[in-house]
Structure 1
């Protein structure tokens, strides 16, 4: 009898451990930002900036393009899976998903957008203020689906990922499209963007966001497109742009400190993307990387979006994207997204899980 009771106890303990392992660490993952985290929202709007065609998605489950600017999954997909949530974070505008799916994770991001509203105008994508409006709409839908109390719990306890800012410089300020370069020095423009970030963060805080990871800018001068424009100087990283990223990141970290002190209950953390990416660029062989200069798609020098499409064997993507840091001339491969997700989980998200 004692042996039977012991066996039952062990079985109960095993069952409890399995339930605990299967339980998500947070109720939902909520994502704002640009193409680094856009899961396909741009598919549903009138813009040329799309990636819902091959070879995008080549290494995605089922080999299908989803609108993610990658050969496979994004960092947010890997983070969601690590948190015990679904392995894909659905795009809010994707009609294939419902509020039942969005209750566990949702992406409001739009490729090509920025902190500056003028950035989203360049390629007619979703501005950041509209992402906030979608978040408000999402909450109304969530209340109808789960009830007011449960909807509040999901929003309050969710983890928020924000990845934005690169386009404000590379697509806006340095392309002279919006006139910001005539209006601001680069230092002033950084301050302008920090003010916009403060407004955005305060807005989502008032809507219930508390556990927030804000990714700093990466080494934007090292993306293949910028190396291509720097060919006259040997095709190396554009140090001017990398310095801008470092300076902006210092100001972003200062903002995070100010808002953390000002807004009760806010737990806003900085994700050190720049350092993580630079480590891989500096020592690629340690990560099984063979090419840091070019993207996997086509020549790897300038292809992105529609230019990355497989029109002929001459424009085909490389055979093994895992040997590359960049998938196209602007965006990382799935392998790098996974590594950056692991970095984010170790740093800015560590205390939330």
Structure 2
């Protein structure tokens, strides 16, 4: 009886291993290529003259080796988890990081820059890499990839790679609602349309360069970011509803854009990856996800905390980031990023698996 049990168990193990092998062989995404802002910047800003950096402790304290990498998190960021979910490496390196070369970038790379947006004027606020420059880096990357893999294999790699875009929050919070230029020229709906037009042209540029799999990222409930809640004194430090309404409106426009691009561009598959609902659910019911604090950040003073207010000597930094939804006033903790990434893989990106 024991021998039979062992035999059956062995057969089950072999069957599972076979299914895993089949699943891996059917995986059609050999690389993840990322464009965007601080939510997906893995250290590009470390290499440019800007204050929008996170290359100091306590950033990265829960990352492998406990070191700051330039990720705006205590650990990994969403695209790292998405890469891992696709059976690729567990972290996606920054293109400008001199520690990596084309052999590292061949299966995943991020051109993202913290503080940037669709709008060139947004990147000027903190002197970071504009989206058009991220595209130029991508063209440079393609040339290196052709040298490394050969022209035909590089072309196939690009067409099968998942191209991810995650930006837009800075366009509103760091530009439109903060600087006078755009708000004096556009009302908020006109500005949304202006940004959607840029997003459309960008996806078309990627398409013309060979991309066929694209994830267009939506906005989070940006009125629920700790900085916005801290400044919402008359609203009892609750989420700033008007910012959330803008995010919902903009996401609706991006979703429509996704549908139109799929009709317009032959052979392309564009999906809309929307973090709004999962993050809002976490913020509204933190205990359901194992969190204790959602209104303030782990590394928090209630001041502008994209950089220097989060440092080694900050007495307000929490001891356990897993209890907090947000790491600093703009960015989620590693745990939150993991939960949202799993949601996006299941509800949007699964079509590429």
- What TM-score results when the alignment is normalised by the length of structure 1? 0.93
Partner in structure 2 of residue 4 of structure 1: none
Partner in structure 2 of residue 35 of structure 1: 38
Partner in structure 2 of residue 320 of structure 1: 320
Q: What does 1:1-353 align with in structure 2 at a 5 Å threshold?
A: 19-20=21-22, 25-177=28-180, 179-299=181-301, 302-312=304-314, 314-315=315-316, 317-353=317-353
Q: Using the alignment, how far apart are the partners of 2:21 and 2:253 within structure 1?
A: 43
Partner in structure 2 of residue 3 of structure 1: none
CA contact (8 A) 2:300 2:329 kept: no
Q: Using the alignment, how far apart are the partners of 1:351 and 1:64 within structure 2?
A: 34
Q: Using the alignment, how far apart are the partners of 1:302 and 1:329 within structure 2?
A: 7
Partner in structure 1 of residue 6 of structure 2: none
Q: Using the alignment, how far apart are the partners of 2:220 and 2:326 within structure 1?
A: 13
Shift of 1:136: 0.5
CA contact (8 A) 2:230 2:302 kept: no
Deviation digits for residues 204-227 of structure 1 (CA, Å, limit 9, x no counterpart) = 111111111111100000001111
CA contact (8 A) 1:224 1:301 kept: no
CA contact (8 A) 2:226 2:297 kept: yes
Deviates more, 1:19-28 or 1:123-132: 19-28
SS at match of 2:163: strand
Kindly report the root-mean-square deviation, in angstroms, between the aligned alpha carbons of the 2 structures: 1.8
CA contact (8 A) 2:48 2:128 kept: yes
- What TM-score results when the alignment is normalised by the length of structure 2? 0.93
Q: Unaligned regions of 5+ residues in structure 1, if any? A: 1-9
SS at match of 2:295: strand
Q: Using the alignment, how far apart are the partners of 1:18 and 1:265 within structure 2?
A: 28
SS at match of 2:294: strand
Q: Using the alignment, how far apart are the partners of 1:187 and 1:96 within structure 2?
A: 42
SS at match of 1:242: helix
SS at match of 1:291: coil
Shift of 1:231: 1.3
Deviation digits for residues 104-162 of structure 1 (CA, Å, limit 9, x no counterpart) = 00000000000001000000000000011111000000000010111011100011111
SS at match of 1:295: coil
Q: Using the alignment, how far apart are the partners of 2:132 and 2:78 within structure 1?
A: 23
Structure 2 CA distance for partners of 1:136 and 1:237, relative to 1, 3 Å: same
Q: Using the alignment, how far apart are the partners of 1:164 and 1:334 within structure 2?
A: 18
Runs of 4+ in 1 over 3 A off after TM superposition: 10-25
Deviates more, 1:13-22 or 1:114-123: 13-22
Deviates more, 1:67-76 or 1:23-32: 23-32
Aligned length: 342
Deviation digits for residues 231-273 of structure 1 (CA, Å, limit 9, x no counterpart) = 1221111111101000101111111111110000111011121
Shift of 1:300: 5.0
